[in-house]
Amino acid sequence: MQKVAIITDSLAGLTRELVESYGIGIVPIRLVIRGKVYRDLIDITPSEAYQFLAQDPENFNTSPSSPGHYLEAFREASLKAKNILCITISSGLSTGYNMARLAKEQAEAELPGVSVEVIDSRNVTAAEGFIALAAARAAADGHELAEVVKAAERVRDKVTFIAVLETMQHVYRTGRIPKVASQVGSMLHIRPILTISGGLIHLKGVVRNREHGIDRILQELRERVGQRPVHVAVMHADVPDEAKKLKERIAAEFNCAELWITEFSPVMGYATGQGTLGFAFYPDD
């Protein structure tokens, strides 16, 4: 039996290969499409979800996980380890952290001898995924729970993401831009650049076309990391060919400690729309 089991949510953008390799438990966020509930990555693929979003955006919604969903994940993890670390989406963006905390109380009453820790990633997308991955790697090396938590927190302090959206049509759903501004921006074909800091999504700027947007976010990466080794996860919302091109460019221009591609969860795509392209990253010290 391993010492520590790691759990995160489907917004973390970890690839199936990484999840299986490190045995990371995933709590799927719920999508509500035309009144039917789907579990993200289980009942519906990102491509299928984006098709629904394009066809009928007004009948496409999301539903946060409940304490029961997290408790189910804790029960399963307790079969593998007596210590569980759950890493959630930023508490500034979702109720996931609070739901996991409630589930922790229930789990510790129901599962004697099992210790559960819940930490707020203050992130989302593959930026959250990198935090969970750091924890999983520390757990795989045999570290105790306290050291696994520290490994996650070290990455949390320096990881972020930046992405350029193809449209402003849905971005008002982030709460960062008024709906009327989102509609006007969509008509003018303005593409916003979003990032995260302090656990909240922020508008970094706007561009008029994807090419300028890609140049802008790569310049941000260059300014933040220089020639230091950098961990990068390229993210896309149903534009795999564009993601591959971006990955190739990053591989050529930066000193990558690791570099992989993942799909942007349609739960986030609900607010960003199809065509979103960007990356999560953090430099090595």
Residue whose entry in the numeric block shows the structure tokens 């971006």: 246
Nearest to 163 by CA among 209, 216, 199: 216
d(CA 229, CA 183): 40
CA distances from 159 to 101, 142, 198 (A): 23, 24, 11
**Per-residue tokens: 263:** 């799909």
From 102-106, 181-185, 206-210, 262-266, the region with the lowest mean pLDDT: 181-185
pLDDT digits 0-9 by tens, 79-114: 999 999 999 999 998 899 999 999 999 998 999 999
**Per-residue tokens: 131:** 């935090």
Domains of the chain: 2-29+64-156 (3.40.50.10170), 160-283 (3.30.1180.10)
Strand intervals (E) in 94-153: 115-120
Q: Average pLDDT of 123-137? A: 97
What's this model's pTM, rounded to 2 decimal places? 0.92
pLDDT digits 0-9 by tens, 251-278: 999 999 999 999 988 888 777 778 899 9
Quote the mean pLDDT of the chain: 89
Give the CA diameter of the chain. 58
What pLDDT is attached to residue 188? 44
Reported as a pLDDT band with limits 50, 70 and 90, residue 133 is very high
Q: Average pLDDT of 139-167? A: 95
- Coil vs helix vs strand at 160: strand
Q: Give all strands of the β-sheet with 36-39 in edge-to-edge order.
A: 36-39, 30-33, 60-63
d(CA 1, CA 154): 26
d(CA 61, CA 53): 9
Q: What percent of the chain has pLDDT over 70?
A: 92
> What is the identity of the amino acid at 250?
I
Beta-ladder partners of 7: 25, 86
Residues 221 and 230 sit within 8 Å (Cβ to Cβ): yes
What pLDDT is attached to residue 11? 93
